[in-house]
Copies of this chain bind each other. A is one copy, B any other.
Amino acid sequence: MKEKIKVGYIGLGGRGLNVLQENFIKMEDVEIKYLCDVLESRMQLAVELFEKDGLPIPITTTCSDDIMNDPEVDAVVIMTGWNTHIDLAKKSMLAGKYTAIEVGCAYDLQECFDLIDIYEQTKSPLMMLENCCYGRNEMMALRLVKEGIFGEIVHCRGGYRHYLPSEDLFPERAYNHYRAHEYVNRNCEQYPTHELGPICKCLNINRGNRLMKLTSTASKSRALKDYVTRYLPEDSEFQNVEFKQGDIVNTIITCANGETILLTLDTTLPIPYYSRDFTVRGTKGCFEEDRFTVFLEGQTEDFLLYPGMKADEVFNKKQEKDFALYDHPLWAEYVKTEMRGGHGGFDWLVCRAFVESVKRGIETPIDAYDTVTLMAIAPLSEMSIQKGGMPVSIPDFTRGKWIRREPPLQTKYSLDEIVTDPDTPI
């Protein structure tokens, strides 16, 4: 077990800089040996963070090979845009590094197979840093599923329902953002991982269950053109552009064990953002993020006390009661200590999960198979939409191993089993 690990950190855009500042830079068992970005100016911003905290200044480089070629580097954290994750991840795994990538999908199935080929050849762990897998609601639901409180799980649902045009969709609105170009050129479920990551863990995907097929249907594309016309400068590169991305994309996945999963991409029509609609439905109860968090069969009193719908005190009271009863041990411990990092503390947990695996030299709780399963949704939904909603088979990236894969060595960050381990600090 390593006391301290050396990390090469690639990608210092908005998200990359934030995750560095809020998480990795604060970890005493992590040494950021390298900072890498194509822009010197972004590396300078990062260096200033280390100077401010009086920390040793990492080596800065615009060439990721410097990191891959350094045998001292234990792990590579890839925080670049979606469009460069895969090539960097391949290099990193081929160099034998633990590899973490920020969320995002592949463009093509072959990229997913390539990652699996390299993983099976090198055994270099690959982990998508899917922070919502460590959300408090998501982990509470996971605990209730594992303990059988919901009965047999039959259906799950989630949606990325976040109105982006006024936030970080267009470069005019956010630092050098590439996302708008994805919306110009593609029409698919581009961003499913925040819902599907936690859902896959509730359904034991790649360990006794798998995603079998999906159908995907996109609405017409109207909102972005309308927004650009009304709100972006006349000289914006997006004026008079036709966006291919439908405003709403619904995708339905069927699993090997008969469960269905509904995913919704909902990012261009005006709507308040306050949930990912995370929903787990079983024969004895359910979790619904939006309405009543936990609901158990026959639980009328709760339902009368709290009609089950959010709204400040009422909902928070219900949620606090549920946390008191059903909080996942990791979160129960976490809230007793200082919550850290961004996004209500779950960025910190997913980064710690990765670091703990590197220190122990064990598999990551979200592994290479889980990662490519999530990454494959975009190209698969694109195929289904292109074919007018035809069902598309989801490849078995485990090549049959899903039927009887043993869970890896477990830590308190495990998403397969509930492990309590007071000796590992959060």
Contact = CB atoms under 8 A, between A and B. Distances in A.
A291 interface: yes
B226 A260 contact: no
Dominant secondary structure of chain A at its interface with chain B = loop
A271 B259 CA distance: 18
A271 B281 contact: yes
Interface stretch (A37-45, A132-140, A151-159, A408-416): A151-159
Interface stretch (A96-104, A189-197, A214-222, A370-378): A214-222
Nearest to A391: B389
Interface stretch (A84-92, A306-314, A396-404): A306-314
A283 interface: yes
B311 A272 contact: no
Interface in A104-124: none
A61 interface: no
A310 B312 contact: no
A271 B295 contact: yes
A298 B270 CA distance: 8
A269 interface: yes
Contacts of A152: 222, 226
Interface string A275-297: 00000011111101011100111
A148 interface: no
Given A290-B309, A307-B311, A309-B310, A217 B269 contact: no
Contacts of A258: 219-220
Given A213-B388, A219-B260, A269 B291 contact: no
Given A223-B154, A270-B295, A283-B223, A254 B217 contact: yes
A306 B272 CA distance: 11
